[in-house]
Amino acid sequence: MDRVLNHLSKAVLSAIDGTPTQQALIPHVLRDLIKLEYRPGYLIAAAYEWCSVIYAKRERIPDWESLLPVCLEIGFRHLDFQTGSIEASLTHTKHHRGLVDVVFQSQESESIADLLQAWTLRYIWYLPEHQLLECCPVHLVGLHNLVPFSPRLRWLVIRSVEVIGYKGFEGVAVGEFVELLNHLHVTAEEMDNKLCWVGFLWDAIKSIEGAQHLSDWYWEFLVFTVSELMVEYIALESTAPESTDPESTDPEPTASEYPAVPRFIGRLERQAFMLAPWKLELDLAHSLQIITSLAEAKEWNKLECWIGIVWMLGAGGVIDEDLERSMVLLFCQRPGALQKLEQWMERWSQRNGGDMPESFKRICKQANEAAQRGAL
């Protein structure tokens, strides 16, 4: 069977570059291959190669646009989209970039999922060849308004967004991107790495559109995840290798040494990944602007979450009147917010092996008393 498929894959390449009569046979061969239950790794790689060759020679091939989705289906439709890895290695070419417009404009949801799967797959220990995803942000942001999201497409869009990162979407409308995030409603269990999402959502909230429109779910996720990751950060910071010398011959740490980091990230990248980027810098002035904006918009759930995050990330002794004033306003509108903030800070303090900050207790007491006086 393997030998037959190998000869067949070569015959398809020959037909693509062949006479019109040979090219006319290609759709029939491809439709038969879709029916196969057994598809070895080299057939997956071959089907992906056919896409590149067809696109490169598209001016000579009748109805070439209809052949690309079939090739993608042969290669990727049968794979477990949640596993996200194969044993075969795909060869990516400049012609594969051309698939983006063709596949997305078809508005065939499963064909789009096939393409995203090809570009988010991992090959055993190696990073995915995700640079091709750089072409996708402008298509992804409005996709949920154009095609229905099957579980498979939704999962692969989440993976694609995660791999591209917030910076990759800066060239598109932030409001549309936030709308996509809200539509996806990604749960913690669906995140490949929570660490990435904390920084990802942090960047989104820094924008006006993100602060205004990002759903409450993500704000609450940040509150509960920041404290968990800070504990991991503190532990890893104290045990991580000190050397960051590129010439170092030290053996690369194993996945078990850094359980929160994907095992396919190299030693130096792992250190930078764990010990620098995620440690969120709290710009108190900007944070207070967000607080004021949320209070004016009467976004009490978000305000509650953001005040909690501000305290957890170190407002500490630098207390601004605007912060206390916003807490008074919050307690007036949400009497239960005091108890929730205290629970969050208690949990935060316990996880970090310390006591709840006295400044927090004092400001909460003052704000609560002021709120009660205002309610009388």
H, E, C per residue of 8-36: HHHHHHHHHCCCHHHHHHHHHHHHHHHCC
Query: Cα(49)–Cα(46) distance, rounded to whole angstroms?
Result: 5
Q: For the residues of 335-347, what is the DSSP string, one character each?
A: TTHHHHHHHHHHH
Residues 6+ apart with CB under 8 A from 363: 319, 323, 324, 327
List Cα–Cα distances, 199 to 80, 125, 219, 241, 278, in angstroms. Answer: 28, 24, 12, 23, 6
- At 257 the pLDDT is 38
- At 232 the pLDDT is 55
Helix axes 174-184, 151-168, angle to 10 degrees: 140
List Cα–Cα distances, 112 to 35, 84, 117, 281, in angstroms. Answer: 20, 16, 9, 37
- At 57 the pLDDT is 92
**86 strand-pairing partners:** 123
- Coil/strand/helix, residue 123: strand
List Cα–Cα distances, 91 to 38, 132, 178, 321, 328, in angstroms. Answer: 21, 12, 33, 58, 59
- At 116 the pLDDT is 95
Place of tokens 């990727």: 76
- At 320 the pLDDT is 63
- At 33 the pLDDT is 87
- At 238 the pLDDT is 53
DSSP state of 129: -
Query: Cα(75)–Cα(69) distance, rounded to whole angstroms?
Result: 10
The H or E element that residue 85 is part of is strand 85-86
Query: Cα(216)–Cα(237) distance, rounded to whole angstroms?
Result: 31
CB 68 within 8 A of CB 51: yes
Query: Cα(196)–Cα(222) distance, rounded to whole angstroms?
Result: 12
List Cα–Cα distances, 82 to 79, 191, 272, in angstroms. Answer: 9, 11, 27
- At 281 the pLDDT is 60
- At 258 the pLDDT is 34
Specify the pTM: 0.81
Per-residue pLDDT of the chain (376 residues; tens, 9 = 90+): 566 666 777 788 788 888 888 888 888 888 888 888 878 778 888 999 999 999 999 998 888 999 999 999 999 999 888 877 777 788 889 999 999 999 999 999 999 999 999 998 876 444 444 678 888 999 999 999 999 999 999 999 999 998 888 888 888 878 889 999 999 999 988 988 787 788 888 888 888 888 889 999 999 998 888 767 655 555 555 555 554 444 545 444 433 333 333 333 333 334 334 433 444 566 667 787 888 888 888 999 999 999 988 888 765 545 567 778 888 889 999 888 999 999 888 888 887 777 888 888 888 888 888 888 875 4
Neighbours of 24 (CB within 10 A): 13
Place of tokens 């991107």: 177
How deeply is 251 buried, as exposed, middle or buried, from its count of CB atoms within 10 A (0-12, 13-18, 19+)? exposed
CB 146 within 8 A of CB 105: no
